[in-house]
Amino acid sequence: MKWIKWTLVGIMLILVLVLLISLALWYYPKWFEHSSELDAGVVTGIVSIVVLVGTIGVTVAVNMQTQRMALKMNQENQQLQLKIQEMNIEAMRFQARSTLRDEIIKGRFQAYNKLIPRLSVFAIHLLPLLYDAKTNVSYDKDRLERYANKVSRSHFKKHKYANSE
């Protein structure tokens, strides 16, 4: 807002200077040596030169202020770009952490995949014993063992752990 104030002050000074020169040439021609030779053309020429110089000064002041504002906006834009880059870096770090976490979880599940067939075989052998104890219902143990072996083999083939056993 300072530049608006100083621009208005510059315009006012130009107008005051033009007014003073016009009054001096109009009302007090005796101040000049050859006042009788001064005519309206000379007065108009002097006033035009003063107005032109003042207009150039005001234009330069406004252009300088515009450049300052553009520089300030450019700096703010650069700061925003830096913040955006920092946010992008943080997002990439978060993505890397989540990817690493996923890989760790996959590695842990591979270990669990080796344990699952063994637990299923154990559970299939344990289940008839528990039912026999409660209900006295007999199960065909050969059939359950064949089923346990089938589950175990299909699981190992599915997860490519057949060679590890």
Tracing tokens 């050969």 back to the chain, one arrives at 142
- Winning range, highest mean pLDDT, from 27-31, 61-65, 141-145: 61-65
- Alpha carbon distance 55, 63 (integer Å): 12
- In 28-140, which residue ranges form alpha helices assigned H by DSSP? 40-135
- Alpha carbon distance 125, 132 (integer Å): 12
**Domains of the chain: which residue ranges?**
2-164
Residue range 90-144, pLDDT digits in tens: 988 888 888 877 777 766 666 666 676 777 777 776 766 666 555 555 556 666 6
Q: What is the mean pLDDT of residues 137-153?
A: 65
| Max CA pair span of the chain | 143
Phi first, then psi, for residue 38 (nearest 5°) are -75, 130
